[in-house]
Amino acid sequence: MTDLSNTAAEPAALEADDEAVVPAIIIQDLYKIFGPHPDRHIDAVKKGMTKSDLNRKHGHSLGLKAIDTELPAGSISVIMGLSGSGKSTLLRHINGLIAPTAGQVLIDGQDVAKMSETELRTFRRHKTAMVFQKFGLLPHRTVLENTLYGLDIQGISRKESEPVGRRWIERVGLKGYEDQYPTQLSGGMQQRVGLARALANDAPVLLMDEAFSALDPLIRVDMQSVLLELQQELRKTIVFITHDLDEALRLGDKIVVLRAGEISQQGTGQDIVLNPANDYIRAFVREVNRARVIQLRAITRPHKPDTSWPSLTLSGSITLEEAAKQLTSSDIREATVLSRQGRPRGVVDLMDVTRNMLRTE
């Protein structure tokens, strides 16, 4: 039972509840123009030339415009948007597959755009790993051999790499399938192999381009669960691309929503659901199940001085849906909300929870 007797610590608890965020990937003023002479048109784009005018007048396509974002270390950042929004283009800037027309992509202080071919090769082998939408498995290689592919490229001996590969195959739930070929596996199993291959490289940055989009809905949810379970332990810096808001909200510690190559809004899932920045975002979040997204800390009220704290305690990180279950199963209709450090940070009652679950704007 949490000790609620020392209420003097409340202001400190409120301040301490927000943890410092250390960015692993910093993207600054990034532009990408596709065409034979992008440098000739970058100034016009920066001064306001639209995507349609650039294409109509100069035959060039604007892929990204003024992208500024910081993706936290050890977290899952989701870049989402509809087809043509620029999300895959942005991902390919992170591992240097596409060079920007202007701007920087900084990873651990290094600008990927300024790396030489040799530096890029080393960077891709050791700093990043990729999981593809279409699995990207080699059909002539077994599950084990596909898992070891990145380590083979690095020149690591099979004696050293095979135990690593077998361990990750087991971790993604494919023990016993080591000698099977991709054609003998279901789509979900093939994607597990792709995930095992990426994790076997032990790269700190994991890039996932629509990794679960080709899967059936139930398998897709299962793979999301696998990823979240692994991330609890591994704390990789993951950049995940999707066009699906429900997937973004389930996976993302941070979400960056792109529209026509520009950032429409970025923040946590509940930031975006609670405070949509424009009509485009409002249309995206209109049908979202708020109860499964919004955390209790977002609706917590200050504790009134000279009143006792409710005896029921709830973590501020649980969703409104879970809070409603706990409040309705108790005879107490008000609860003390705890910070990440386990200290009282405020109060909430069942009416607060249900009202915010049912809000439509």
Q: Are 208 and 239 in contact (CB under 8 A)?
A: yes
Partnered with residue 62 across adjacent β-strands are 33
CA pair distance 229, 216, nearest whole angstrom? 20
CA pair distance 93, 100, nearest whole angstrom? 7
Q: What is the pLDDT of residues 305-314, one digit of tens each?
A: 888 999 999 9
Q: Are 60 and 38 in contact (CB under 8 A)?
A: yes
Q: Are 101 and 60 in contact (CB under 8 A)?
A: no
Q: Model confidence at 9, in pLDDT bands (50, 70, 90)?
A: very low
Provide the H-helix boundaries in the chain.
10-16, 42-46, 51-58, 87-94, 117-126, 143-147, 149-153, 158-171, 187-200, 217-234, 245-251, 269-274, 279-285, 320-328, 350-358
User: Which pLDDT belongs to residue 181?
Assistant: 95
Query: Where are the chain's structural domains?
Result: 72-98+114-127+203-288, 292-358
Q: Phi, psi (5° rounding) for residue 329?
A: -85, -5
Highest mean pLDDT among 19-23, 96-100, 286-290, 340-344: 96-100
Per-residue pLDDT at 18 exceeds 90: no
User: Which pLDDT belongs to residue 21?
Assistant: 61
Q: Model confidence at 13, in pLDDT bands (50, 70, 90)?
A: very low
Fold classified for 72-98+114-127+203-288: Rossmann fold (3.40.50)
Instruction: Decide: helix, strand or coil at residue 102.
Output: strand
Q: Do domains 72-98+114-127+203-288 and 292-358 have the same CATH topology?
A: no
CA pair distance 150, 199, nearest whole angstrom? 10
* Among 88-97, 254-263, 323-332, the least confident range: 323-332
Tokens of 47: 């001064």
Q: What is the pLDDT of residues 84-126, one digit of tens each?
A: 899 999 999 999 999 999 999 999 889 999 999 999 999 988 8
User: Which pLDDT belongs to residue 134?
Assistant: 74
Q: Are 24 and 76 in contact (CB under 8 A)?
A: no
User: Which pLDDT belongs to residue 289?
Assistant: 86
DSSP 196-223: HHHHHTT-SEEEEESTTTTS-HHHHHHH
Q: What percent of the chain has pLDDT over 90?
A: 61
Q: What is the pLDDT of residues 235-249, one digit of tens each?
A: 999 999 999 999 999
Per-residue pLDDT at 7 exceeds 50: no
Per-residue pLDDT at 209 exceeds 80: yes
User: Which pLDDT belongs to residue 130?
Assistant: 86
User: Which pLDDT belongs to residue 112?
Assistant: 95
User: Which pLDDT belongs to residue 15?
Assistant: 41
User: 292-358 has which CATH code?
Assistant: 3.10.580.10
Tokens of 242: 């999707």
Tell me the pTM. Answer: 0.85
Per-residue pLDDT at 328 exceeds 60: yes
Average pLDDT of every residue of the chain = 89
